[in-house]
Structure 1
Amino acid sequence: MKAFGWNMLLALFWVILSGNYNIGNLAAGMLLSYLVLAYVARDKPAFANYFGKLPKIISFILFFLWDLTKANARVAYDVLTPTHLMRPGVIAIPLDIKDEAGITMFANLITVTPGSLALDVSSDRKVLYVHLMYLDDEGRQLAELKALEARVLNLLR
């Protein structure tokens, strides 16, 4: 059984034994069982990848929430002020991600962020075209999008 399966099984035992059937208790059981498994299976190489994922996931979530907050603030400022600061444009991002799931995840994260929209992927899957509401400095924005791509790639490894 995979590490995640063991984690879920222990968390479900936690919920059943505690008698408190709610999402908060399941989350507490997941965290507790994660810590127990990390201690018990610390020398098993099959579990090493599973325990290395949680810090990556937390880091990615915090990074993306910060990016999302900045984008929301910028769009809200532009909507609430009488002058419009938009300089829309399309940018081509050379992709380092090769698999379809990674490209889809990257494109969806771009689309969810206010002020940007993933338009299309080239037929050879080497370039992603993105429409940006604020294309001020193409080099800086390309670097920011490549940083997001690098985090997605790191998360999927």
Structure 2
Amino acid sequence: MAGQFLLNLFISFFWMVVTDELSFSSFMSGYLVGIVVVFILHRFFGRQFYLRRFYSILRLTLIFITELLSSSFYVIKHTLKPKITLKPGIFYYETELEGDWEVPALALLLTLTPGSCVMEVTPEGNAFYIHAMDIEELREKLIQSLTKFEKAIMEVTR
């Protein structure tokens, strides 16, 4: 990935030298030409195209923001109700993620969304104990958001 990016930068600087125009617009046009060249040649690097990973990171960020906003509204709605009808609880969730980066990333993303908290990760690192603010209503929503997070994290790391 770093090699593709460096090649793209080299092409953009080379483009500036060839066109004999040292400006930002010349650099950007060279960078766009470099993107096309690197996309055509990315098979020879043995890795996926480097902008695909950037797109995956952007997608993971947008998924997190939407989950953060929806869970925040849920918590605010239940906080402002005159009568509290919540039934908190803990449930067990197994994950397909592995490694020193993927599992903590999922745990942190889930903990940062209001209404849920990862209490413990199993020693094997393949399951979580999750506390939910309202186990009856939130469990299915949490499982759906966890699967979204898992898929997005796998796209970024693999």
Segments of 5+ residues of structure 2 without an aligned counterpart are 14-21
Alpha carbons of 1:48 and 1:97: their partners in 2 closer, same or farther (altered >3 Å)? Answer: closer
Amino acid at match of 2:4: A
Mapping of residues 6-155 of structure 1, within 5 Å? 35-45=32-42, 46=45, 48-137=48-137, 138-155=139-156
Alpha-carbon contact 1:42-1:48 (below 8 Å) kept: no
Q: How many residues align?
A: 143
Alpha-carbon contact 2:8-2:38 (below 8 Å) kept: no
Residue identity over aligned pairs, in percent, reads 23
Segments of 5+ residues of structure 1 without an aligned counterpart are 12-16, 20-28
Amino acid at match of 2:126: K
Larger radius of gyration: 2
Aligned equivalents of 1:90, 1:78: Cα separation in 2: 19
Indicate the larger mover: 102-111 or 115-124.
Answer: 115-124
User: What is the alpha-carbon root mean square deviation over aligned residues?
Assistant: 2.9
TM-score (norm 2): 0.73
Amino acid at match of 2:144: A
Aligned equivalents of 1:53, 1:43: Cα separation in 2: 16
Alpha-carbon contact 1:118-1:130 (below 8 Å) kept: yes
Aligned equivalents of 2:135, 2:23: Cα separation in 1: 54
Alpha-carbon contact 2:90-2:132 (below 8 Å) kept: yes
Amino acid at match of 2:40: D
TM-score (norm 1): 0.74
Aligned equivalents of 1:48, 1:34: Cα separation in 2: 18
